[in-house]
Amino acid sequence: MKQLEHQMTPETQQELTHLADRFSLSIAEFFENVTQGKLAIIDAEELEDLLDIQDAIEAEADPENQARLSWDSIKQELGLSVTVL
């Protein structure tokens, strides 16, 4: 494996060590897993968006959600009426 020179703050080193420890990995193993695509570091908001998309896809595929409602039936159910000009 090719060795790369790197510089990081002590705080960054500490955070990376903590993160690697959570996976029972050394920092070198942690980075190796990231470069191999086995681990990914993503923004928490991006993860939440991806999980929301996954939930929507699963809900759309659920047989109970296959019935389609007409706009007129929805308006009637909500007690709405539309005046045509």
- Asked if residue 84 is part of any domain, the answer here is no
pTM over 0.85: no
- Angstrom distance (rounded) from CA 43 to CA 45: 5
- Asked if residue 41 is part of any domain, the answer here is yes
SS3 12: helix
Domain count, the chain: 1
Amino acid identity, residue 17? T
The more confidently predicted of residues 68 and 32 is 32
pLDDT tens-digit map of 30-53:
999 999 999 988 899 999 999 999
Alpha-carbon torsion 53, 54, 60, 64, what sign?
A: negative
Look up the domain containing 59 and give its range. 10-78
- Asked if residue 85 is part of any domain, the answer here is no
- Asked if residue 14 is part of any domain, the answer here is yes
- Structural contact between residues 41 and 35, judged by C-beta atoms closer than 8 angstroms: no
- Structural contact between residues 23 and 39, judged by C-beta atoms closer than 8 angstroms: yes
